[in-house]
Amino acid sequence: MIAFDLKCEKGHAFEGWFESSHSFDTQKEKGLVTCPVCNSASVSKALSRFGIVKSNGAAKGVAIDPQAVVDNISKKIYDFVEKNFDDVGADFTKEALKIHYGVSEPRNIKGVSSKEEEKLLREEGVDFIKVPIPAEKNDTDA
């Protein structure tokens, strides 16, 4: 099944479900597709705000490795943080608290913290996320 956003000649927008695009065309030619508001048979497809993917790469003979997908996303997140965050190293907790309490200007920071420091940040209401270092970075930096 496929859903189309439809519009009649008077501008009424509505949705229709069809077996295929060809099925819509056939029903339209027979006058079976009509506007539910004004009953006009002069209906056309309208641009849709979103679409639904019918199949994934596996259906086309391409095997998808879920771990590879996760690794790729993790690497992209890590690379973004590397390029867009100030590295404050072991001063992460101190800098995060300064930003939280308005002592320092807000900015994106990255660094390291201990479990105790992370607990303190949570207690103080400081939001942070831990971004794992991709395996390839660990291997080359070691």
Q: For residue 123, what are the domain limits?
A: 63-137
pLDDT (tens digit, 9 = 90+) per residue, 120-141?
A: 999 999 999 988 887 766 555 5
Q: Are residues 39 and 72 in the same domain?
A: no
Question: In terms of domains, do 8 and 69 share one?
Answer: no
Exposed, middle or buried by CB within 10 Å (0-12, 13-18, 19+), for 110?
A: middle
User: Half-sphere exposure of residue 63, counting CA atoms within 13 Å on the CB side?
Assistant: 3
pTM of the predicted model over 0.75 = no
Do residues 6 and 45 lie in contact, with contact meaning Cβ atoms separated by under 8 Å? yes
Within-domain flag for 53: no
Asked if residue 75 and residue 30 are part of one domain, the reply reads no
Counted domains in the chain: 2
**Structural tokens at position 23:** 């099925």
| 94 located within any domain | yes
pLDDT, tens digit (0-9, with 9 covering 90-100), for 64-119: 788 888 888 888 999 999 999 999 999 999 999 999 999 999 999 999 999 999 99
Query: What pLDDT was estimated at residue 100?
Result: 96
Residue-wise pLDDT for 53-79, tens only, equals 555 555 555 677 888 888 888 889 999
Question: Residues 92, 133: one domain?
Answer: yes
Say if residue 39 is in the same domain as residue 75.
no
